[in-house]
Amino acid sequence: MASVPLPPYRACRVTGDWLDGSPSIPAFTNGRLWNGFQQPLFSRPSVLQLALLMPGQVEFDASGTAVIVIADDGEPFLVNGQQIEVNGRRIEVFAVGSGWWCWEEADTGIGPATDAPLDKRFDDVLFGTTQEEFDALEVHGVRNVRTPAGENVGIREVDDVNPELFSVYVHFRAGGVECVGDHGTLHLALKYARELANRFGCPIHNFAPMPVPPRAPSTAV
């Protein structure tokens, strides 16, 4: 009997309604669903992002080779890494919540062609041999570019005045930046940037507008 090949994996972004700020988490999928929901696989940087979003529920074990996930019943569940191939490259991934959490593909307006290099952005830029090439992290506000009719055209541009989302970038010594994470709130973007800054010992430059706290009502004299 001839075996049926598995569908190829592609980069995607997923979210869950239990995550604060509806963040868009980079992941990989082969299109297969569980009860209508995505079954994503996450690279190490994405697991780190999940650990920041779900403290005490997702974390690497002491060896750093597996992920500890707290199941719905409160019991710890060990998720070991596995290797998949994406566009000819072998990538280590972890099935965090795949098959029991209700993951949905995030509506970012970014298609597979744009998402394809995400595995390189996260695996090589942050955790590979190119790490010494960047010297700082930048946080920017971004917005989706839309047609006059309001349709999302699948392109994002920096907008530090009226942002829709907030992105973390690495700044290369040779010039230029590259996105390494998108977040629904500035708080989450800065939290992720601080975690990366602590890991790699580089400064953070925040260009996004800080939220203005509400003014206290004046007291009549």
The answer on 92 and 32 residing in a single domain is yes
Whether 101 and 135 map to the same domain: the answer is no
Cα angle at 4 between 112 and 103, to 5 degrees? 40
Same structural domain, 94 and 48: yes
Position 126 scores a pLDDT of: 54
166/118 Cα distance (integer angstroms): 17
Question: What is residue 139's predicted lDDT score, i.e. its pLDDT?
Answer: 93
Q: Is residue 218 assigned to a domain?
A: no
Distance of CA 215 to the CA centre of its chain: 34
Is 212 a domain residue?
A: no
* 112 located within any domain: no
pLDDT for position 28: 87
pLDDT in tens, 16-36: 888 887 788 888 888 888 888
Helices 44-53, 186-200: inter-axial angle, 10-degree rounding: 130
- Same domain, residue pair 93 and 144: no
Q: Are residues 92 and 133 in the same domain?
A: no
End-of-domain residue from the set 105, 140, 164: 105
Q: Which two tokens stand for residue 17?
A: 């309604």
Residue 91 sits in the same domain as residue 139: no
Rounded Cα gap, residues 85 and 87, in angstroms: 7
- Same domain flag for 61 and 139: no
CB atoms under 10 Å from CB of 47, counted, come to: 21
Q: Which of 113, 86, 82 is CA-nearest to residue 7?
A: 86
CA distances from residue 72 to 57, 97, 101, 191 in whole angstroms, order as listed:
10, 10, 9, 25
Say how far apart CA 105 and CA 6 lie, in whole Å: 20
**Sign (positive/negative) of CA torsion 147, 111, 134, 173?**
negative
Q: Say if 121 falls within a structural domain.
A: no
pLDDT digits (tens, 9 = 90+) for 135-176: 889 999 988 877 787 776 666 788 888 888 888 888 877 777
Chain-wide mean pLDDT for the chain? 77
21 and 99 together in one domain = yes
φ, ψ (nearest 5 deg) of residue 113:
-65, -35
pLDDT in tens, 60-106: 888 888 999 987 778 888 999 999 887 777 888 999 988 888 898 87
**Does the residue 115 lie in any domain?**
no
Write down the pTM of the prediction. 0.52
Q: How far is CA 24 from the centre of its chain?
A: 6
Burial class of residue 122, CB neighbours in 10 A (0-12, 13-18, 19+): buried
CB 57 within 8 A of CB 76: no
Q: What is the span of the domain harbouring residue 22?
A: 10-105
Work out how many domains the chain is built from and give that number: 2
